[in-house]
Amino acid sequence: MLAPVGAIASELEDATWYKGWMAVKKHKVDPDADLSEWIFARIERIHNQGQKIPLTDESGNKTGYTLSLESLVYEETQVPVLKVGVIDDTTGYTLAYSWADPGSQRVGLNVRWFQAGMTRIDEENHD
């Protein structure tokens, strides 16, 4: 079952939890930054029911990019997938995404300037 962000916990009974990291090239946020610098953040927990997590810098400032994770079925093919996407916070558009089998232990996205990697975690303890 798909549940919107902020859904009550009982709607997430079938959620699968992941942990991992995400990063964006710093020059995408600050044009004066060195091209080799990254803004990096750990993801302690994210569920596959459409959760979105904004990427913030070391000071807690938003970078303008958000990671999304959702299980869905593509209408055209009826194939269930686990979709990882990067969203532009200004437009709300998904800039890039990857997909994997919904049962995947690991899933990631690399579009050079934005990267993310997540590993499935124990559903009982969320760790």
Q: What is the pLDDT of residue 39?
A: 97
Residues near 105 by beta carbon (within 8 Å), at least 6 away in sequence: 119, 120
- Calculate mean pLDDT across residues 40-47: 96
Q: What is the pLDDT of residue 14?
A: 82
List phi, psi (to 5°) of 66: -130, 140
**Residue 9 in this model has a pLDDT that exceeds 70:** no
- Calculate mean pLDDT across residues 14-31: 96
Q: What is the pLDDT of residue 10?
A: 42
pLDDT digits 0-9 by tens, 66-109: 999 999 998 888 999 999 999 999 999 999 999 999 999 999 99
3-state secondary structure the chain: CCCCCCCCHHHHCCCCEEEEEEEEEHHHCCCCCCCCCEEEEEEEEEECEEEEEEEECCCCCEEEEEEEEEEEEECCCCEEEEEEEEEECCCCCEEEEEEECCCCCEEEEECCCEEEEEEECCCCCCC
